[in-house]
Each structure stands twice: as C-alpha cells, then as structure tokens.
C-alpha cells in the first residue's frame, strides 16, 4: 500500500493543527513553566548568567512569534468551519433570509446595512407581545404592516 505524498500546504496544516492542539494542553503549560524555572535558576547556578541569557532571550521572542501564526491559522480554519455550518443552517431553514449566506464575505458597508435591518427587526419584536412571531426581516415587515393596518381598521 503506497501512501499519498502530502503537499507542503497539507504538511503545514497538519503541523499547525498538532502544534495548536499541543499548545493548549496541560503538558505544554508545565513544559513552559519548567523551562522558565530552569532558565531562572540554571543560569546563576552554573555561573553562566550572560551567555545563558543570550541563549534564551531569542527563544522567548521567537516561540511566541511562531505561535501567533500557528494559532491564527487554526483560528482561520475553525472560523471557516463555523461559517460553513451557519451557511448550511440558513440555507436549510424555511423562512430564513438566504441573503445571509456567506455574509462574512460582505464589505463592512454591506454588513452595516444588514445590521440596520436587524435593528429594525429588533425594534418591531420589542413591540410584540408574543415571542417568535417572525422569522426574517421581510416576513417581520409584512406582518408588522398587516398588524398596523388591522389596528387602524378597528373602531
């Protein structure tokens, strides 16, 4: 059985996932604390304070620098997975506004327009006495208009 050779991107993703998972473990925290304790105690103990400091100072800058990129890659992947799941829910729900599918790809101005619509929806919902009376902006506006007309016709 031959194994498929992984591309650089696939190997980087695999490494990133493994490193991110490991970085969030108790073992990683204990290792970091142990290294810090050894650094603090070891230098003076062995009488190599200056060179000891010169060895560990770059490491204390380089490791967090790398971790930022590893964690960001993992966060991007998790965020994309959540967005895809939300897109599936919006697409599957009857009455949900399909205009919200891939909303994360919209510009900030487009998001502000949608936010304004939802604020209007929230304002209308606050006036309602029953919870869950509407499912989308369009439906809420239609129901709100219908109710206003019905109230206006009452004696």
* Higher per-residue pLDDT: 148 or 114: 114
Cα 20 from Cα 11, distance rounded (Å): 14
Determine the average pLDDT of the residues in 87-103: 81
Per-residue pLDDT of 96-139, as tens digits, reads 777 888 888 888 998 898 889 888 878 877 777 666 555 566 67
Q: Where are the domains of the chain?
A: 7-97, 106-155
Secondary structure (H, E, C), the chain: CCCCCCCHHHHHHHHHHHHHHHHCCHHHHHHHHHHHHHHHHHHHHHCCHHHHHHHHHHHHHHHHHHHHHHHHHHHHHHHHHHHHHHHHHHHHCCCCCHHHCCHHHCCHHHHHHHHHHHHHHHHHHHHCCCCCCCCCHHHHHHHHHHHHHHHHHCC
Q: Residue 30's pLDDT is what?
A: 92
Whole-angstrom Cα distance, residue 90 to residue 99?
9
Asked whether the whole model's pTM tops 0.75, one would answer: no
Residues 143-147: what's their mean pLDDT?
72
- The answer on pLDDT for 26 being more than 60 is yes
């Amino acid at each position: 059985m031959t194994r498929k050779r992984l591309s650089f991107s696939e190997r980087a993703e695999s490494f990133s996932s493994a490193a991110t998972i490991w970085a969030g473990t108790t073992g990683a925290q204990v290792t970091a604390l142990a290294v810090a304790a050894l650094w603090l105690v070891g230098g003076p103990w062995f009488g190599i304070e200056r060179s000891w400091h010169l060895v560990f100072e770059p490491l204390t800058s380089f490791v967090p620098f790398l971790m930022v990129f590893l964690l960001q890659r993992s966060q991007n992947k998790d965020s994309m997975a959540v967005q895809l799941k939300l897109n599936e829910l919006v697409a599957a729900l009857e009455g949900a506004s399909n205009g919200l599918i891939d909303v994360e790809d919209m510009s900030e101005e487009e998001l502000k327009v949608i936010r304004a619509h939802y604020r209007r929806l929230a304002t209308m919902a606050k006036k309602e006495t029953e919870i869950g009376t509407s499912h989308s902006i369009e439906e809420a506006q239609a129901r709100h208009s219908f109710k206003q007309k019905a109230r206006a016709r009452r004696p």
